[in-house]
Structure 1
Amino acid sequence: MEKPRVLVVDDEVEAREFIRRYLTRNDFEVSSAGNGLLGLRLLSRNNFDVLISDINMPRMNGVEFSRRARALHPQLVIIFLTGQAALKTAQEAIKIGVHEYLAKPVELEHLKDSIQQGLAKISDRKKDLDYYRRLELELKVNKGRIDSMKNELITLISHELRTPVTVVTSTFDLLKEVIEMPSVEKMHGFSDDKKKRLFANIEKGHRRLIDIIEDLNCYLNLSKDTASFDKQKVEMNGFLSNNLSAFKELIAEYQAEISLELSEKSLEADIARDKMTDVLERLIHNAAYHNPAGTQIRLSSASASKVVNGKNQEVVRIEVSDNGRGIERSLLDNIFKPFSITDIDHHSRGLGMGLCICKKIIELHRADIRLDSPSQGRGTRIVIDFPA
């Protein structure tokens, strides 16, 4: 078993040597220094378990020395020695995490006991740390397994859905041909209105199955480590304006209204046009689909700044907001996770993949997306920030 390594720092030679000789006889490996600067030099070159430091020393006092020592060795057991106690020094000692504060002349047995108690505390702390590190590793491994199983399940579901959808598609086409025959129409009384309703219902269910399969495949492709797409610099005001008609058509059946508010200055961002169109279509469709008729949707662009890693960063900001029913605060934490359904009462389609897909696309643009919903009945606001 290795001997605990102790560093004694004191400008009084006799006091320093007295402690060094005693601890050496009691199975400690001891080094010593006459001031804080020499002590820091030893600490930078060697590993120590315990630091015993006088407080009142020339060139660098014990408090400043111990603060720097702690930065070099976070697990160091620090014991202060002082001939004159002071409240301010005691407060500083607490901040640094000093194990004990002993008065001079020090009682050697008390000092030894204090060292052993400090080492025991550090040992327990290391055991706890090792335990939590092992636990964290196990959680990462298990998360990886779960993610793998989840992707395998999604692949299986997607594959299993494709077969019946193919059968439905071919049968639907055949049925359409048969029903449109004049003899069938006379025999079964298939009026044009009845045929339209029948085909509309079949086609709606068929389209829903296809959308589910496409969302599952989209999620899987975006989740791959190799996922990426070609981006180009795009003027965002023009991009939004050019897509406005398509957005209006997308939400027409829900009787929602959309307005466009553009920045006065030109805004450019690196985007993949088709992917960003997909994101905006999903967000705007959600705002119309999950809210009552007459909901007002606002699509806007602006130049903004935000703090990133302590520095201000200019961003191109795109917002999709509405004045609808909003989202429960308890659901917001999981809003961008796969299979997250935030509107159970009004949910009747899909697997809750839309916002998750949007987030993955935005992240692959090296951009950020967030959702705010102040409270139910006060609408929803989704903000996308691109690096300017």
Structure 2
Amino acid sequence: MNILLVGSGGREHALAWKIAQSPLVTRLVAAPGNPGMARVAEVRDVGAVDVPGLIALAREIAADLVVIGPETTVAAGLGDACAEAGIPCFGPTAQAGQLESSKAFTKAFCDRYGLPTGAYRVCETVDEAKAALDAFTAPFVVKADGLAAGKGVVVAATREEADAAVEDALGGRFGAAGARVIIEEFLEGEIGSLFALCDGKTSIVFGSAQDHKRAFDGEQGPNTGGMGVYSPAPVFTAQLVDQVRTRLAEPAFAGIAADGAPYRGVLFVELMATAQGPKLVEFNVRFGDPECQALLLRLKSDLVPYLMACATGTLADLPAPEWSDDHAVVVVVAAQGYPGTPKAGGEIKGADADFGPDVVVFHAGTRRDADGTLRAAGGRVLNVCARGPSLQAARDKAYAAIKAIDYADGFCRSDIGWRALAREGA
């Protein structure tokens, strides 16, 4: 089987790492890829939103399957183009992708199909948004409507901070993604991420994780695309998983199909476990980053049959995926300045070392010079991932590997997994 994997971040490196292990795969090509992915796949310089170029590449390599990594590729319509070209694709159409590409669409979708979520207002002007804030109490949640690389959400402790966030978003910080903002109720509870696969008809739960969005220890600092994650997450009891499946995931798949866009791919359900049951925080129409990395470290089954089944409508033919009892931890090493303007170009030494069978370093934002020097080329630079028989054991391995990597311009949180460890110690 020939597979084209689209994307260049840590999530895509993890997907390439897992796909390359499949005995079903003859050829794996990644576009545009990254230096880490080049160790397990052919890398081709075709952009993740260059839909005509990606279709041409898929035809060139006689791809039996296209796997979409990032949300920007979904929004660009690669899933639609693959359907027109007759190429099986793991990833939804742009219409179904509105579940992530427009938070306003998703809120209206929840209203239409009865999915539990927080109260909200959609606003297009600063005056309208500030008036909407009057109906909410601190802390205030302000979200850019469109895709903002995980940086379009502000949880403001004060009204002054909320007003500033509104002015920032509607003032052009996020471009077209911030043309509208959503003022949203702050949900009390514990946040978590559940994943579900769908082939347009059949769906299955595909793992859970808990991440850390704030930049600094103790859940301080600005929101980011994610600074670390662990799986499994103790918050996901069997009861909560069933509630999320029946109240959020399955109704979402049914609703988007009723809208004329059957869902084929993975749906990332970010939720708040509240006293009233799970409520939707947001949908993502791809594997989370860095949640994907933790899930794939624990997945014992071959991933490729599940990707192909989603693309071809045969998910019902597969057994339930098999998961390791091990715990997995991912610590994100970011460039100083992230999530603002990251310091680019810093040299990285030791990231390609052999840290043993339980530690994997995925490249998230790197480039390699002609002389082989590895350098930072993004906000989130490396994902240092480890597994172990306990959360503490996995965590210790990840942080030991980070200490062995020489990257002077990098920083990471030192408390990944604190919620679960605190629960264990309670």
Scaled by the length of structure 2, what TM-score is found?
A: 0.19
- Bigger relative CO (Cα 8 Å, ≥ 6 apart): 2
Name the structure with the higher helix share.
1
Name the structure with the higher strand share.
2
Scaled by the length of structure 1, what TM-score is found?
A: 0.20
